Amino acid sequence: MTSAMPVKRSKLPPIPTQALLAKIFHWINLISLFVMLLSGLQIYNANPVFGGREGWHFPSFLTLGGWLGGGRSWHFAAMWFYALNLLWYGLYVLISRRWQKRFANGSDIKALRVSQNAKRKNYALHRFVYTAIIPILVLSIASGLAMYKPAQFYWLSSLFLNWQTLRTIHFIAVPTVILFTFIHSLLALRVGSIRLIKSMFV
């Protein structure tokens, strides 16, 4: 008789731990972004950016608010959550010095050019995407504020030349933020697999 050798089961690495403030930021960001997207489509349907009132409309199941006034109420309420959430998280990143690990630097450029380590390149690319979204976020919030209070922020509105340009820039900036969220999640999967994604929400 031969005794069966015990089979060693490989243990998966533990789920990374994330700071509570980072988790709260991601939850508020995700929810407010979702509300802004659906309510923004409701506002768009009232007067499409492209093609005027006869332009293409989004299906009602993709919108939030029921009408123009309702869509605006939802949109601007979520905007304040989103903007203030970004502000306090920016202060948190600055004070805690998380920016040293989150944003691109010279070593990341070198890694993308010469490194043979695929994981190191993924980290570098992730930080570049994280850094590139900052001006897009500023543009989306600035253009949103200019449309929210055009009389009070007339100096901000004037930077965008005219109303149609302002609406077009805002319409393009917001989907870019959505695209960033998708790419950010995809790169997180490549760097730390699904465990890294779970660590932000559990």
Check whether residue 107 and residue 90 sit in a common domain.
no
The count of domains in the chain is 2
Q: Is residue 72 part of a domain?
A: yes
Query: Could you tell me if residue 176 is inside a domain?
Result: yes
Residue 4 lies in a domain: no
Q: Are residues 113 and 88 in the same domain?
A: no
pLDDT, mean of each 10-residue run, the chain (202 residues): 51 63 83 91 84 76 90 92 88 78 78 78 79 85 89 91 89 82 76 66 66
Q: 152 and 87 share a domain?
A: no
pLDDT of the residue at 179: 83
Same domain (yes/no): 89, 115: no
pLDDT (0 to 100) of residue 197: 64
Same-domain pairing of 120 and 194? yes
Quickly tell me which residue has 């200019």 as its tokens.
146
Examine the domain organization and report whether 90 and 137 are in the same domain: no
Q: Is residue 114 part of a domain?
A: yes
If asked whether residues 117 and 201 sit together in one domain, one would say yes
Residue 191 lies in a domain: yes
Question: Is residue 12 in some structural domain?
Answer: no
Please, where are the H alpha helices in the chain? 20-46, 68-96, 99-102, 106-114, 118-148, 154-158, 163-199
**Do 75 and 113 lie in a common domain?**
no
Cβ neighbours of 67 (radius 10 Å): 13
| 52 belongs to a structural domain | yes
Domain that holds residue 64: 17-95
64 Rama class: left (phi>0) / alpha (psi -120 to 50) / beta: beta
CA 134 remoteness from chain centre: 10
Residue that is last in its domain, among 95, 122, 137:
95
Q: How many C-beta neighbours within 10 Å does residue 199 have? A: 17
Which phi and psi angles does 53 have, rounded to 5°? -65, -20
